Amino acid sequence: MMSTKRFVWVVVVPLLAVLIVAGLVLNQVVRATSDDEPEGDASWTFLVYVMGDTNLEPYALDDLTEMASVGSSGELNIVAMVDRSPDYSSDGVLNLDDWEDTKLLKVEQDEFVELADLGELNTGDPDTLASFVETGLREYPADNYALLLWDHGGGWLGMGADETDGEDPLGLDEIAQGIDEGLNA
């Protein structure tokens, strides 16, 4: 079994580096492609793609609660697409009861606004990521964007594995494809 210290250096740190680079690239691409468009209503839109259909689901709920301690404001949009599992937690989160599929949420201070019940989505599918990026950019315009991909990190292999959908991971090439297609849409 891998020690916690080794896990952090082998899995967590490389995944964080990939996420930071993806966020910076996403922000630069959006800025480059939107020079002719008016600036957004907010300064920042954070798009949080939560692949919580794994044994990390209880931690996803904790992180969502932490996000809601700040919440969206006139300068900040926090939008999360959250896929959950039927197997790991039956807890609700703040004002929402338990669910077992995928929801699109706006994170407000101390609560969530359910924007859509999307049914069961495969978060290991790059088309799902593309649709989330497209929706977030279209519905929540801002001067700056960040995309956070949340789940098990696999370093250069990608991330996650949507357990309900055949343990489907999101490889690095699929992450790039999902971001590109979402931006182009």
Phi and psi, residue 85, nearest 5°: -110, 150
Percent of the chain predicted with pLDDT > 90: 66
The chain-wide mean pLDDT, for the chain, equals 85
Return the beta strands (E) in 12-100 as ranges: 42-52, 76-84
Beta-bridge partners for 146: 46
Q: Determine how many CB atoms are found less than 10 A away from the CB of residue 115.
A: 15
The tens digit of pLDDT for each residue in 96-130 reads 999 999 999 999 999 999 999 999 999 999 999 99
Asked whether the beta carbons of 72 and 115 are under 8 A apart, the reply is: no
> Longest Cα pair distance anywhere in the chain, in angstroms?
53
Q: Work out the pLDDT band at 23, boundaries 50, 70, 90.
A: low
Q: Indicate left, alpha or beta for 180 from its phi (over 0: left) and psi (-120 to 50: alpha).
A: alpha
> pTM score, two decimals?
0.79
Q: What is the pLDDT of residue 155?
A: 86
The tens digit of pLDDT for each residue in 43-100 reads 999 999 999 999 999 999 999 999 999 999 999 999 999 999 888 999 999 999 999 9
What lies within 8 Å, CB to CB, of 137 at 6+ separation is: 30, 45, 145, 182, 183
Cα dist from 168 to 41, 55, 174, whole Å: 36, 14, 11
Q: What is the pLDDT of residue 153?
A: 86
Q: Indicate left, alpha or beta for 120 from its phi (over 0: left) and psi (-120 to 50: alpha).
A: beta
